[in-house]
Amino acid sequence: MFSFRTVISLLCALISLSTTTVSYELQTLPRDTSFAPLSYAKIRKELKPRLLKGASLYFPSSPYFQNYTELWSESAIGDILVVVVPVADSDVAETVKYANLVGLPFLAVNRGHGTAEQLGTIKHGILINLRFLDSIQIAQDGKTAVMGGGVVIDQVIGTLAQKAKTSASGSCGCVGMMGPGLGGGLGKYMGYYGLVSDNIVDMSVVTANGSAITVSAIQNSDLYWGMRGAGHNFGIVTKFRYKIYDYPNPNNYYVSYTFAGDKVEAVFKQLNLLGNNGKQPKEINSYLLYSFNATLSSKPILVLQIYYTGTSLAARRFVEPFLTLEPLVVENATVPYARLATALDVGVGGPICAPGLSHRLFPVGLLEYNVTANRKLYSLYEKMLTEEPLFNKSTVQFEGYALQGMKAVNPASSAYAHRADNLLV
């Protein structure tokens, strides 16, 4: 059976369209040629004293090297000379200054979910792994929290839940917060709170020359505008202040419907009614896949899942119209939001988080679903799978988020360029 867990695992890929990755080729910066050629021993001797106690260096001979260099998509893995694992903001700044001094490129990652092939072009570079910059401190007034640049969604959701708080975030627990956030950051609470980037109050950033600066509406306001929506190459975010909220509802209901391919038109017509030209209720998010499951059908299937922030009773009038379309399979449950990712096997340690596979994402934004075009797309997808069975793990995904929170933000307030879109494919 093509399970709801499998569907939401695939969803994580699109939610994390951007990652906490920053790459600089510093060929034009002054270089102290006395450092070349660089041996591992010389790098250790020169770089280690710059870092605080507890920060680590890992070279290719280390048994831990692969743990810190293996990324979600194998095409994003470049040629890494040394891994630096900082324990404080100053370690990041010192590493960048050292990279400038010796003329080495560098790349900063958190959980490493970036899929851009350009990430893999780094040669003889320094990888700065931010995973231990993961502190979370909730303000006394309960309105914001200061988070390290290495926090992941599971951790944020779990920590905030202990105080009956939540925030805008993605759906996949193993993805970092700042990766999606610097690119915008879509998620289930977008109807309530907007994008991840809309909720960033300020950031501590290390720039390309190793300077540590504050980025906010008051300080470095141009960067504050640019880094919220197009921020991955302006600097490395070592910590950020973030808006948090009381839970809108402690429960989350979800239902998954699996349809045969002859239901394409009926399903998309109903989704357009639900979406209501970008005005669907803020409690609802929908996701649909074209996929293949030989145990259910010899042809591609449609798997539709709908989340509702609230009870199954309150969700009934929105989800029951799809039940009348005679799905092949129906799954549903109600769980606390803090346990949702784990329940669906998309928390930290879930199978979708396994690194080293091949991932390619090709997203596009829409205003509404074109039913005729989606039938043609289904036919092309079916033809591709028939002619090239190796692609039977490929999917076509359609995402319909509640948009009220995002649409309420002035488009000119940040670099995020897609507020006019209602749907993501």
- The residue-averaged pLDDT of 314-340 equals 90
pLDDT at 148: 97
pLDDT class for 35, splitting at 50, 70, 90?
very low
Percent of the chain exceeding pLDDT 90 equals 60
pLDDT at 174: 75
- The residue-averaged pLDDT of 326-345 equals 80
For the cut 50, the answer to whether the pLDDT of residue 193 exceeds it is yes
For the cut 80, the answer to whether the pLDDT of residue 42 exceeds it is yes
- The residue-averaged pLDDT of 147-169 equals 92
- The residue-averaged pLDDT of 242-260 equals 92
Mean pLDDT across the chain, nearest whole number? 85
- The residue-averaged pLDDT of 217-222 equals 98
pLDDT at 49: 96
Structure tokens at 151: 């926090």
pLDDT class for 32, splitting at 50, 70, 90?
very low
Of 118-122, 202-206, 321-325, the poorest mean pLDDT is in 118-122
Q: What is the reported pTM?
A: 0.87
Q: Which amino acid, 330?
A: V
pLDDT at 354: 61
Of 4-8, 119-123, 170-174, 245-249, the poorest mean pLDDT is in 4-8
CB 57 within 8 A of CB 48: yes
pLDDT class for 25, splitting at 50, 70, 90?
very low
| CA 269 – CA 293 distance, rounded (Å) | 24
pLDDT higher for 61 or 173?
61
For the cut 70, the answer to whether the pLDDT of residue 286 exceeds it is yes
Of 130-144, 163-177, 232-246, 267-281, the poorest mean pLDDT is in 163-177
- The residue-averaged pLDDT of 382-394 equals 89
- The residue-averaged pLDDT of 331-356 equals 68
User: How many CB atoms are located within 10 Å of the residue 312 CB?
Assistant: 15
For the cut 70, the answer to whether the pLDDT of residue 356 exceeds it is no
Residue 412 to residues 16, 84, 233, 340, 419: CA-CA distances in angstroms? 23, 37, 20, 34, 10
pLDDT at 245: 97
- The residue-averaged pLDDT of 174-184 equals 86
| CA 378 – CA 373 distance, rounded (Å) | 9
For the cut 70, the answer to whether the pLDDT of residue 351 exceeds it is no
Percent of the chain exceeding pLDDT 70 equals 81
